[in-house]
Amino acid sequence: MKKHDKIISFIFILVMMVTAIYWAISTQSWTMLGTLASVVCFGLFVLLGLRTIPVLTDFVLTNPAPEVTWKSKEQDRRQAWLYIIGWILASRILLMLIGYSFLIIQNGYSGGLLSKMAETWHISGIDASSYLGIAENWYVTEGDPKFHIVFFPFFPNLIKVVQVFVGNYLVAGFIVSNISSIVAALVAYELAALDMHRKNAMRVVKYIFIFPAAFFFFIPMTEALFLALSLMCLYFVRKKEWLIGCLCGALAAYTRSPGVLLIVPVAIEFGRDLIGNYKLLSKKVFIHRIISAVCFLAIISTGLLAYLFINYHVTGNAFQFSIYQREHWSQRFYLFFDTVRYQMEYAVGTFKSGDSRSFLGLWLPNLIAIFSALIIMFMGAKKIRPSYTAYFIVYFAFVVGATWLLSAPRYLLVAFPLAFAAVALTEEKSKDAILTVVSVAGSLLYLAMFVAGYPVY
């Protein structure tokens, strides 16, 4: 290990140990399984960080050679796009049929497929109803809808626009989500194709859409839009279209709060480009490049700043959303491994009490999603682009570090580096087949629980 890697690794370990000591001192509830789960999660995260550091520094500091990308004929690309679009549309129809079938199995026949869309997908029981309410009435300051201010505005903005043409907010929500799904699939394919053969790029798309919780891409939720914008941000940055990429990042940050974390991979890509061209540029041009990079990075933060301004304009407090999250949902940011502690404690508690719905629908899927994501990224950290791994690390710490985490599978679904790592780990057909079968089976089981009214959020 190089000297600078040793120094950075030491600092990383020191920070993590200080964090662990603070957690140990401040934690009031201790159980054997909860503590064990926290320690394992903490250890996996530290190992992932240590494995990433030398790869990341080498990526940034080594003078990059011209990138080798897989090329194909334009006709092949068109065929791939048509195949992806066809596959996404067919999978949406299949999802509708499977979800409706699960509803009939659960409740018996009580209406046609289209008339039961809202009931099948529990629109009134998940965040979709809040987004539709914002689209129709914007943010308000009275009644229960005042809490809608915690939801970001770009997705409702798009629903509002589409509703003008279709005349129905629910239909507009489905349209926005599914068009976003198609865009996400196409951009994921093109982004992956910058580094790998197009057959593997197609597998990246496959894994994104068969991971458990992928059915949330279908319904009026932000996942599909957020994923599409995140992928577009990285794709255009990789193509040296800095302004377009950062504008996409700003829209991602205007869609969901973790969007601002795209600053991390974009900054890494900027840093690599600046260091790689340092000796080729004059001092004046190099300084101009640095200033431009800082300005481009600042653009990403404007999405979050716009949301804060809306908070201020509506409520008089730019951070009113955080007050509602804390007081209404007991939600604030804390340590991700403490999240695993209480998730394990709730899982054990609900299992012992016989509350199978909460155990199977909420706490067990959360734990499986958290640990499987860490393991996949740890195993694939040296095989995918380091800027992607760095993004996963900060994204994971941010979204899992919620004090009342109910949606780990959904949140981690849009951490696109997971699909890249999954492809890197399944080069052998047998491994690819196994992970595909496991993912599809998990998806069907998770969807069945969702339709059956289990606490799947």
Structure tokens at 407: 């949606």
Q: How far apart are CA 170 and CA 359, in angstroms?
A: 31
CA dihedral 349, 120, 224, 183 (to 10 degrees): 150
Q: How far apart are CA 383 and CA 184, in angstroms?
A: 22
Summarize the confidence of residues 389-413 as an average pLDDT. 97
Residue 28: count other Cβ atoms within 10 Å of its Cβ: 4
Is residue 2 assigned to a domain? yes
Q: Are residues 224 and 106 in the same domain?
A: yes
Per-position DSSP letters for 400-454, written without gaps between them: HTBTT---HHHHHHT-THHHHHHHHH--SHHHHHHHHHHHHHHHHHHHHHHHTT-
Q: Are residues 143 and 247 in the same domain?
A: yes
In the predicted model, what is the mean pLDDT of the chain? 95
Stated as kind and residue range, the H or E segment containing 318 is none
In this prediction, residue 251 carries a pLDDT of 98
Q: Are residues 324 and 413 in the same domain?
A: no
Structure tokens at 313: 């304009």
pLDDT-based confidence at residue 259 (cuts at 50, 70, 90):
very high
Q: Are residues 53 and 79 in the same domain?
A: no
Q: How far apart are CA 209 and CA 184, in angstroms?
A: 10
In this prediction, residue 66 carries a pLDDT of 57
DSSP letter for 116, please: G
In this prediction, residue 77 carries a pLDDT of 87
Summarize the confidence of residues 221-234 as an average pLDDT. 98
More confident position, 277 or 152: 152
Residue 20: count other Cβ atoms within 10 Å of its Cβ: 16
Is residue 356 assigned to a domain? no
* Helix locations, 316-404, DSSP H: 320-329, 336-353, 356-358, 364-380, 386-400
More confident position, 5 or 75: 5
pLDDT-based confidence at residue 30 (cuts at 50, 70, 90):
confident
φ, ψ of residue 67 in degrees (nearest 5): -65, 135
Is residue 435 assigned to a domain? no
More confident position, 67 or 142: 142
Alpha carbon 320 to its chain centroid, in Å, reads 24
User: Does pTM surpass 0.75?
Assistant: yes
User: Using an 8 Å Cβ cutoff, are 260 and 244 in contact?
Assistant: no
In this prediction, residue 281 carries a pLDDT of 79
Structure tokens at 38: 């926290």
Q: Are residues 245 and 291 in the same domain?
A: yes
In this prediction, residue 416 carries a pLDDT of 97
Nearest to 262 by CA among 271, 272, 251, 273: 251
Q: Is residue 223 pLDDT above 70, yes or no? A: yes
Q: Is residue 200 pLDDT above 90, yes or no? A: yes
Q: Are residues 79 and 42 in the same domain?
A: no
More confident position, 437 or 278: 437
User: Using an 8 Å Cβ cutoff, are 52 and 390 in contact?
Assistant: yes
Is residue 40 assigned to a domain? yes
Is residue 359 assigned to a domain? no
In this prediction, residue 15 carries a pLDDT of 97
User: Using an 8 Å Cβ cutoff, are 153 and 134 in contact?
Assistant: yes
Q: How far apart are CA 317 and CA 115, in angstroms?
A: 41
Q: What is the pLDDT of residues 46-105, one digit of tens each?
A: 999 999 999 999 999 987 655 555 555 677 889 999 999 999 999 999 999 999 999 999
DSSP letter for 333, please: B
CA dihedral 40, 41, 47, 49 (to 10 degrees): -170
In this prediction, residue 64 carries a pLDDT of 65
Q: Are residues 147 and 209 in the same domain?
A: yes
Q: Is residue 456 pLDDT above 60, yes or no? A: yes
In this prediction, residue 282 carries a pLDDT of 81
Is residue 433 assigned to a domain? no
Is residue 432 assigned to a domain? no
Q: Is residue 343 pLDDT above 80, yes or no? A: yes
Q: What is the pLDDT of residues 353-381, one digit of tens each?
A: 999 999 999 999 999 999 999 999 999 99
Q: Are residues 338 and 309 in the same domain?
A: no
In this prediction, residue 70 carries a pLDDT of 55
Structure tokens at 24: 């140990």
Per the listing, tokens 């001092």 go with 283
More confident position, 173 or 282: 173
In this prediction, residue 285 carries a pLDDT of 86
Q: Which domain holds residue 202?
A: 70-329
Q: Are residues 258 and 391 in the same domain?
A: no
Q: What is the pLDDT of residues 286-322, one digit of tens each?
A: 898 899 999 999 999 999 999 999 999 999 999 999 9
Q: Are residues 81 and 20 in the same domain?
A: no
DSSP letter for 143, please: S
- 276, 299, 329: which is the final residue of a domain? 329
Is residue 288 assigned to a domain? yes
Q: Is residue 440 pLDDT above 70, yes or no? A: yes
Per the listing, tokens 């629109």 go with 123
Q: Are residues 26 and 111 in the same domain?
A: no
In this prediction, residue 288 carries a pLDDT of 86
Q: What is the pLDDT of residues 203-214, one digit of tens each?
A: 999 999 999 999
Number of domains, the chain: 2
Summarize the confidence of residues 137-153 as an average pLDDT. 96
Q: Are residues 248 and 397 in the same domain?
A: no
Contacts of residue 14, defined as CB under 8 A and 6 or more positions apart, other chains included, come to: none
Q: For 220, what's the count of Cα atoms within 13 Å in the CB-facing half-sphere?
A: 34
